[in-house]
Amino acid sequence: MIKLNPKTTKLEVGMKVMLRSDLKGGDYGCQIYCSYNPERMMQGEIVTIKTIEGRWNNEAYFTIVEDTCPHWNGYHTAMIDYIIGEGMTKDDLKTKMGVKTREGSRYIVLDDIIVRNSDAKGFNLIDNYQDDLTSARFPMLDIMEIYQPRNCGTMLKCEFESSAWKLIWQRTEPKEVTMSEVNARFGYDVKIVEG
The verdict on 101 and 66 lying in the same domain is no
* DSSP letter string, 140-152: GG-EEEEEEESS-
Cβ contacts of residue 120 below 8 Å, gap of 6+? 156
Domain annotation covers residue 132: yes
- Helices marked H in the chain: 179-186
Q: Which of 129, 118, 62 is nearest to 91 (CA)?
A: 129
Q: Which of 1-5, 95-99, 169-173 comes out lowest in average pLDDT? A: 1-5
The verdict on 56 and 35 lying in the same domain is yes
Domain boundary among 83, 111, 140: 83
The verdict on 123 and 163 lying in the same domain is yes
Strand 123-125: give its sheet, edge to edge: 123-125, 113-116, 106-110, 98-101, 143-149, 165-170
Q: Where residue 135 falls among pLDDT bands split at 50, 70, 90?
A: very high
Domain annotation covers residue 176: no
Which residue would you say has higher pLDDT here, 3 or 164?
164
Q: What is the CA radius of gyration of the chain?
A: 20
Domain annotation covers residue 121: yes
Would you say 63 and 73 are in contact if contact means Cβ atoms under 8 Å apart?
yes
> What residue type is 94 in one-letter code?
K
Q: Tell me what pLDDT residue 37 has.
A: 47
Would you say 110 and 150 are in contact if contact means Cβ atoms under 8 Å apart?
no
Which residue would you say has higher pLDDT here, 186 or 83?
186
β-pair partners for 55: 60
Task: List pLDDT tens digits, range 59-108.
Answer: 777 888 877 665 556 777 777 777 776 678 888 888 888 899 999 888 98
Would you say 83 and 59 are in contact if contact means Cβ atoms under 8 Å apart?
no
The verdict on 98 and 60 lying in the same domain is no
The verdict on 117 and 137 lying in the same domain is yes
Please give the angle made by the CA atoms of 169, 174 and 179, to the nearest 5 degrees: 160
Domain holding 107, by residue range, is: 90-170
- What's the total number of domains in the chain? 2
Task: List pLDDT tens digits, range 27-55.
Answer: 554 444 444 444 455 677 778 888 888 77
Domain annotation covers residue 177: no
Helix (H) or strand (E) holding 179: helix 179-186
The verdict on 71 and 111 lying in the same domain is no
Q: Tell me what pLDDT residue 26 has.
A: 55
Q: Tell me what pLDDT residue 162 has.
A: 64
Domain boundary among 83, 118, 152: 83
Domain annotation covers residue 192: no
The verdict on 59 and 7 lying in the same domain is yes
- Helices marked H in 76-187: 179-186
Domain annotation covers residue 186: no
Domain annotation covers residue 130: yes
The verdict on 67 and 24 lying in the same domain is yes
Residue 129: pLDDT over 70: yes
